Amino acid sequence: MYPSDNPGAKLVPVQFVGIGYRSWRRSVLRSLSVKNKLGFINGDCPRPQSNHPSYRQWERCDDIVTTWILNSLSKEIADSVEFIMSSAELWRELKDRYEQTNGAKLYQIQREINDLSQGSLISTGYYTKLKKLWEELSTLNVTAQCNCTYVCGEKALIHKAEQDRRLIQFLMGLNDVYTVIRRSIIMMNPLPSIAHAFSLLVQDEHQREIKSSNHFNVESSVLHVGSSRPSQPSQPYRTDFSPN
């Protein structure tokens, strides 16, 4: 236990309400890892015997981990698991409830990816939204993950093919204003990573903004010069309405 370990602490900024379990789960695991408390939910720190000298200390630590997890849940969900006895049991209960991979969820995410285009979004917003959907799809599609214990060349090839497919999908959804930079990226051999392509896209945006700003300043200067007239106090302006 550390002085900062108090029951009122929250592991995540937003409580879990039943939607987005995998994202919430990842945030909780990261917070527990920082606090050195992962062992209480993954089995690395099992409950000792009741007559063991460290039993009371283990029980206090487990209670505070349980409290943290409950604080990270909405009131409705927290009330339904309030009487679970240990943090490991609570964690398994939440996993059994909300980590069910199903075809409907896969279909929904893939449909959102296929229908997504930049539209009125800025390039950063479009990239962030698409990347979040890709990550959520990857966590659901567990069958596509290789668990081999050695360096597998086929695994690297599959990963590169998937990254290339996502890059093309990202480029296809961009607005027509990015036609030039999109064509330049597609012509690269081998194709760059998605992060590198996005970096090139941002650089192209900045260059176009600078050119647009300079063009506006030149036009403003020309208009200013054309509209200015030398002051001639002795000879006021004369208007000639003759037919010629």
| Total-model pTM | 0.57
* Percent of the chain scoring above 70 in pLDDT: 80
Asked if the model's pLDDT at residue 218 lies above 70, the reply is no
Q: What pLDDT was estimated at residue 241? A: 58
Q: What pLDDT was estimated at residue 237? A: 54
16 φ, ψ to 5°?
-80, 130
Tell me which amino acid residue 196 is: H
Mean predicted confidence (pLDDT) in 189-194: 92
Domain range annotation of the chain: 21-98, 103-221
pLDDT digits (tens, 9 = 90+) for 142-158: 544 555 655 567 778 88
Q: What pLDDT was estimated at residue 171? A: 94
Mean predicted confidence (pLDDT) in 165-178: 93
DSSP state of 191: P
Interatomic CA distance for residues 29 and 35, integer angstroms? 10
Determine whether 68 is exposed, middle or buried from the number of CB atoms within 10 Å of its CB (0-12, 13-18, 19+): buried
Q: Which two tokens stand for residue 60?
A: 């206090």
Asked if the model's pLDDT at residue 185 lies above 60, the reply is yes
Q: What is the band of 62 on the pLDDT scale with cuts at 50, 70, 90? A: very high
Lowest mean pLDDT among 66-80, 117-131, 189-203, 226-240: 226-240
pLDDT digits (tens, 9 = 90+) for 65-103: 999 999 999 999 999 998 898 999 999 999 888 876 567
Mean predicted confidence (pLDDT) in 36-40: 91
Interatomic CA distance for residues 109 and 105, integer angstroms? 6
